[in-house]
Amino acid sequence: MGLFDWIKKDNKAESDIEKEEPDTKDTDEISGTDEQEKASDTKDTDEASDTNEPYEVSGTDEQTEDEASIAETEISGEEETAPPEDSAEPEDKKGGIFKRLVGGLAKTRNSISESLSSVFAANHIDDDFYDELEETLIMADMGVSTTMNILDELRESVKKKHIKEPADCKDLLIELIKEQMSLKENAYEYENKKSVVMIIGVNGVGKTTSIGKLAAQFRKNGKKVIMAAADTFRAAAIEQLTEWAHRSQADIISQKEGADPSAVVYDALQAAKARNTDILLIDTAGRLHNKKNLMDELGKMNRIIEREYPDAYKETLIVLDGTTGQNALEQAKQFKQVADIDGIILTKLDGTAKGGIAIAIHAELGVPVKYIGVGEGIDDLQKFNPESYVNAIFAEE
Ligand code: GDP
């Protein structure tokens, strides 16, 4: 079995891991139970700082399915003035953005740089040259079909431009990949509007961390940010998001573990409107074990957003763990069946030698990678820049 076949087989095996289980599972895990919805312990709201704009906390007995009590909502406030400490640190103290990107992608770069050098040091552009290049790109997890497409384009371009030297092919390859990954002009439009951003993805991919990092960036730019802890299935998720809200100095709207996620979203929308918030970041629970429930839950949240805040700019971002390679692509495909995804946050690229996955995901899904995570720190989330990304992996130092 050649490398090509082996990788195809391996990718298939990996992607099978996340396949959903049958619809027979207990659906309460996703949608919450009646009892959970009725839970009425009012949480202590002392944490709300004096700088919060007034926000009425009141409950009602006559609630519709998605207007559950806000009595249990916990509101934690932001300091209006100072930006988050970590991100206030001058850029040059920590190294420039590109330097940090290169550092974050070092594993990918190191793993392929030797074979790339040897490929481009060849004497002729022949079948062996293309075969070796193919192996190298697949090794970086660019995926079989993406690699094939890019190599087809490269072959064509080489012919058209009468390129004879393998070394000259390298720039061409870099250009082709950059073109594939270019972002539309309005990719970050939501940052400049009053927006509601749904963050979806399975547990452990870096959702909470990415929300924290995003909030810190927005706060640094003077935006008013609210986080909504709508992943109510794990107490730890709520605690962790609260911690990130403190770190990034954003507001947070949360309820008790087990509350109806849509009720949290409802409360957060009221708060966002009342406080004239710029960006509302909604953390959701995204388990893939039951597609119908996931779809119902996301659909319900979207309906509430549409009804309660029709003027808001809506953005849905999926968080994927870059270290899971082709499995991340498989997850994205499944989520794409239940949600309209506007962009991808690809995390943990510092922990993998397979940074080519960003290229594969972008090409195969037709959904742009908008942010990349290159470390655990509050500043380790970057806007995706195809030019820098491809240079950080492929270009000579
Ligand atoms: P969630 O379950 O999806 O909310 O995931 P978390 O935000 O809790 O993240 C899971 C783990 O991944 C935590 O230990 C994070 O610190 C870590 N993590 C998240 N993003 C990155 C990243 O870009 N790089 C690295 N190295 N770790 C990350």
- For the stretch 241-282, pLDDT in tens is 999 999 999 999 999 999 999 999 999 999 999 999 999 999
Q: What pLDDT band is residue 117 in, cutting at 50, 70 and 90?
A: confident
Question: Could you tell which of 199, 207, 209 is best to mutate to test the pocket of ligand 1, judged by most ligand atoms within 8 Å of the CB?
Answer: 209
Name the pairing type of β-strands 381-383 and 369-373. Answer: antiparallel
Distance 206 CA to ligand 1 centre (A): 4
Confidence of residue 114 (pLDDT cuts 50, 70, 90): confident
For the record, the structure tokens of 285 come out as: 């629970």
Q: Please say if the pLDDT value at position 7 is more than 80.
A: no
Task: Kindly give the distance from the C-alpha atom of residue 207 to the centroid of ligand 1, in angstroms, as a whole number.
Answer: 7
Burial class (CB in 10 A: 0-12, 13-18, 19+), 172: middle
- Mean pLDDT over 315-320 rounds to 97
Q: Which atom of ligand 1 lies at the shortest distance from residue 202's CA?
A: 3
The mean pLDDT value for 148-176 works out to 92
**What pLDDT score does 315 carry?**
97
Concatenate the DSSP letters of all residues of 241-252 into one string: HHHHHHHHT-EE
Residues with CB under 6 A from ligand 1: 201, 203-209, 240, 347-348, 350-351, 373-376, 380
- Order the strands of the 313-321 sheet from edge to edge: 74-76, 251-254, 225-230, 279-284, 195-200, 313-321, 343-347, 369-373, 381-383
Say what the pLDDT of residue 76 is. Answer: 60
Higher pLDDT, 116 or 313: 313
Q: Report percent pLDDT > 90 for the chain.
A: 53
Tell whether the model's pLDDT for residue 27 goes beyond 70. Answer: no
pLDDT(327) > 70: yes
Please compute the mean of the pLDDT values over residues 350-378 and round it to a whole number.
Answer: 92
CA dist 58 and 124 (Å) reads 75
Within 13 Å, how many C-alpha atoms sit on residue 188's CB side?
14
Nearest CA to ligand 1 atom 13: 206
Ligand 1 pocket test, candidate residues 317, 344, 376, most atoms within 8 A of CB:
376
Q: What is the distance between the alpha carbons of residues 312 and 278, in angstroms, rounded to a whole number?
A: 9
Q: Which residue in the block uniquely carries the two structure tokens 């490929």?
A: 119
CA 283 to ligand 1: nearest atom? 4
**Exposed/middle/buried for 378, CB within 10 Å: 0-12, 13-18, 19+?**
buried
pLDDT of residue 95: 61
For ligand 1, the distance from its centroid to the CA atom of residue 8, given in whole angstroms, is 28
Is residue 92 pLDDT above 70, yes or no? Answer: no
**pLDDT at residue 396, as a whole number:** 67
Length of the chain counted residue by residue: 397
Specify the pLDDT at position 74: 64
Question: Residue 393: pLDDT above 60?
Answer: yes
Give the Å distance between the CA of 209 and the centre of ligand 1: 6
pLDDT higher for 163 or 72?
163
Q: Which two tokens stand for residue 309?
A: 């805040």
Average pLDDT of the segment spanning 55-84: 43
357 and 344 Cβ atoms separated by less than 8 Å: no
